[in-house]
Structure 1
Amino acid sequence: MITRSSLKHLRIPFSLFLLPVFLFALAFTPNLNEERLLLVFMILHLFLYPSSNGYNSYFDKDEKSIGGIKNPPKVTKDLYWLSLVFFMIAIVLSIKINLAFASMVTLYGLVSMAYSHPLVRIKKYPWLSWLIAGLFQGYFTFGMAYAGLSDFGWDILFKSHVMIPGLLTSLMLWANYPLTQVYQHEEDAKRNDLTLSRKLGIIGTFGFSASFFLLTAAGFAWFFLSKNQENILWVYLASMLPVVLYFLIWFYFVKRNPEKYANYSWAMGMNTISAVLLNGFFIYYFLENTQIMQVLGAY
């Protein structure tokens, strides 16, 4: 029997926060196909990511707020099996595209399982977990989505036109990743998980993320200018301005009272505003970069 708590722990709406990576890959897809687009979207956002969420929730057994759930219900055994079923569905559906894409989906799922599984538990290693989470949720996911959308194989991950934008998405995630841990210090300490945010401290976490946000902005500025897309750069900077303002306001309050303001509500607010604006920007970029807007304007 599938319990309501297990369905909640899948955190399907939380996939919104990783959608920008998919949309960015979509903007460069040379073999755009409506059926593959829908299939890759479903595989990643309705099955693979929820599977990862549920599996990690099962082993973490958090009692306080986690990403997407302010008051997580107690996990039950069916969550473990449900997460594996979702993983299997993701793999089976990905075979419909090609075996290479299916193997990428499988690797992503196994790495995400290792993040919280007690035999490996990458989560307890601060720098390694930061590196792997950003690399797989950014660059690898970008390449995986690109391969699935275009019906390509593993070799596409090592092409410069995939590696460069893929690494830019990793920069975004490396900047934001420690902020997602800043309100979980107490829970992580109970399990002896020395996350990067615990290692850096609350103030150090904000300083670290700020430096990577600047690096990300510089990287995207270089990328758009190198493609002679100065107008796109201005839209990107305008989209990120509210995120920067939110971050600075949050940081101001945190410096005054870290225990009070380094909390779930502020962190989820940061994630939500950045996800909404990035999704909006990358939809716009997809329409512009594929010249769909120009085609529609001709009619």
Structure 2
Amino acid sequence: MITSSSLKHLRIPFSLFLMPVFLFALALTPNHNEGRLLLVFLALHLFLYPSSNGYNSFFDKDEESIGGLKHPPKVTPDLYWLSQVFLLVALVLGAMISWSFASMLLVYAFVSMAYSHPSIRIKKYPWASWFIAGFFQGYFTFAMTYAGLSNLGWDVVLRPHVVIPGLLTSLMLWGNYPLTQVYQHREDSRRGDHTLSIKLGIKGTFIFSAFFFALTGAAFVWYFLDRNQVEVIWIYLGAMAPIMLFFLIWFGFVNSNPEKYASYSWAMGMNSISALILNAFFIYYFLENTQILQVFGF
């Protein structure tokens, strides 16, 4: 029997936070096909990501707040099998496009499993977990999405027109990833997971993320300049402004009282505003790149 607890641990709405990677790949894909678009979206956001969430929750057995759940319910045994069913559905959807795309989904799933499984548990290694999470949720997912949308094979992973924007998505995630850990120090320490945020300290986490946010912004500006899309730069900077304002306000509060403000509510606020604005920006970028806006006279 599937329990309501297990359904909650899938955290399907949390997939919204990873949607900018999908939209960026969609914006740069030259061969759009409605059927492939739907299959890729469903495979990733409705099945693969929730499968990963559920699998990780099963082994973490968190008692305090986690991403998308302020009060996570007690984990039940059916969560493990439910996560595997969701993975199977993702693979079937992927195979409807190509075996290459399905195998990419499987590689992502294996890395995700290794992140939390006790026999490997990448999560307990601060720098390795930071790099691997950012690489696979960013660069690899971008390449995988691009391959699925265009019905291409594994060779797309090393193509320059995929490598550069893929690395840009990883930069975004490498900056944000430690911020998702600032409110979990106590529980991560209890389990023996030495996360990067614990290693850096709360204030050090914010300084580290600020550096990567600045690096990411500069890299995106360079990317748009290289593509002769000067007008997009101003839209991008305008989109980033409220995100950075929220970050700086949060950092100011954390400096005054780290224990109070390095909290779940603030971290989810940062994630939410980032996801909503970046999703909106990449939808605009998709419309701009495909010249749909020009068709309607914009």
Do they fold alike, i.e. is TM over 0.5? yes
Structure 2 match to 1:136: 136
TM-score normalised by L of structure 2:
0.99
Cα distance in 2, alignment partners of residues 34 and 127 from structure 1:
39
Aligned partners of 1:25, 1:206: CA distance in 2, in Å?
28
- 1:296 deviates by 3.0
Q: Distance in 1 between matches of 2:193 and 2:9?
A: 20
Match of 1:118 in 2: 118
The aligned residue for residue 84 of structure 2 is 84
Shift of 1:177: 0.1
**Cα deviation, residue 293, structure 1:** 1.2
The one-letter amino acid paired with 1:65 is S
Structure-2 residue corresponding to 1:70: 70
How far off is 1:28 after superposition? 0.9
Q: CA deviation at 1:93?
A: 1.0
| Structure 2: stretches of 5+ with no match in the other structure | none
- 1:31: which partner in 2? 31
SS of 2:228's partner is coil
**2:283 equivalent in structure 1:** 283
1:2-52 per-residue CA deviation (whole Å, 9 max, x = no partner) reads 000000000000000000000000001111000110110000000000000
Equivalent in the alignment of 1:263 = 263
Q: State the partner residue of 1:2.
A: 2
Question: CA-to-partner distance for each residue in 1:137-195, whole Å, 9 max, x for gaps?
Answer: 00000000000000000001101100000000000000000000000000001100000
SS class of match (2:28):
coil
- Report deviation, 1:92: 1.0
In the other structure, the counterpart of 1:40 is 40
Structure 1 residue aligned with 2:250: 250
Aligned residues between the structures: 298
Match of 1:12 in 2: 12
Partner of 2:188: helix, strand, or coil?
helix
What's 1:227 paired with?
Answer: 227
Q: State the distance in 2 between where 1:89 and 1:244 align.
A: 38
Distance 2:35 2:16 in 1: 21
State the 1:219 CA deviation.
0.3
Letter in 1 for 2:154: W
Query: Partner of 1:172 in structure 2?
Result: 172
Q: CA deviation at 1:134?
A: 0.2
The Cα RMSD (Å) is 0.7
Q: CA deviation at 1:71?
A: 0.2
* SS in structure 2 of the partner of residue 27 of structure 1: helix
Taking the aligned partners of 2:258 and 2:291, their CA distance within structure 1 comes to: 47
Q: How far apart, CA to CA, are the structure 2 residues paired with 1:295 and 1:36?
A: 24
% identity of equivalent residues: 72
In structure 2, what is the Cα distance between the partners aligned to 1:107 and 1:92?
A: 14
